[in-house]
Amino acid sequence: MKILIAGSSSGIGTELTKNFDKEGNFLYLTYRQNKNSIYKPKNAEYKYLQIDFLDEKIVDANFKHIDNLDVAINVLGNIDNSLIKNMKSSQWNDVINNNLNVIFYATRAEIQKMNQNSHIINISSVLGTTGIVGASNYVAAKGGVEAYTKSLAKETIKSKIFVNCIALGYFSIGLGLKLTPKIVELTKTKIPLGEFGNPNEVSKLVNYIISSRYLVGQIIHLNGGFRI
């Protein structure tokens, strides 16, 4: 398979790169700044692509190096938290750009390279549904990703491009490692399982999604019961 992981230098991106590190796969691994943080595949062929998905010219230039794709997974985003009353316009716009607008630019380029019976998976957050104090910009962006996924899926399914979204809860990787110990313990009290998820659960779900030929436009929650 030919697989694009947009945002491969992140925690979940690294986990997914390891998942697809198998003979016979060709991986396109994108990064924005730090190529050295990307997991280097040992079995799959691969190519690094430095892409700022907010720059259309850079996106177009890099996608000229991609012949076709069977799977594209978009692990893109950032946070800049603040209470709404204190939030600067720059904070709002930056998080909307880097969590929602990047998905538009990425998927617009990806759908032009997808084979039949291919898959696009956008990575979102459970917070896009539940909301949370202090991160309204992030919540709005992830909610937008989920709504956008549904519309994109309706547009592409006749071309046999299956688009779905995974809304992640809290995992012991990526942003989950940046939380303070106090926030970690408080968050665990809100998860019925009482613990953060193992990152390999994400790969298991991705593997199921790309094996399906009937799953279309769904927001699949993986959160240990944080949202039921």
Q: What is the pLDDT of residues 66-106, one digit of tens each?
A: 999 999 999 999 999 999 999 999 999 999 999 999 999 99
How confident is the model at residue 173, as a pLDDT?
79
Number of structural domains, the chain?
1
Residue 180 domain-assigned (yes or no): yes
Domain carrying residue 122:
2-222
Sheet containing strand 2-6, edge to edge, reads 45-50, 26-31, 2-6, 69-74, 114-125, 161-168, 219-222
How confident is the model at residue 61, as a pLDDT?
96
CATH number for the domain that contains residue 157: 3.40.50.720
Residue 228 domain-assigned (yes or no): no
How confident is the model at residue 28, as a pLDDT?
98
How confident is the model at residue 177, as a pLDDT?
64
How many residues belong to the chain?
228
Query: Where would I find the beta strands (DSSP E) of 7-146?
Result: 26-31, 45-50, 69-74, 114-125
Listed as ranges, residues in the chain with pLDDT below 70 are 176-178
Residue 227 domain-assigned (yes or no): no
Residue 8 domain-assigned (yes or no): yes
Residue 181 domain-assigned (yes or no): yes
How confident is the model at residue 218, as a pLDDT?
98
Model pTM score: 0.95
How confident is the model at residue 34, as a pLDDT?
79
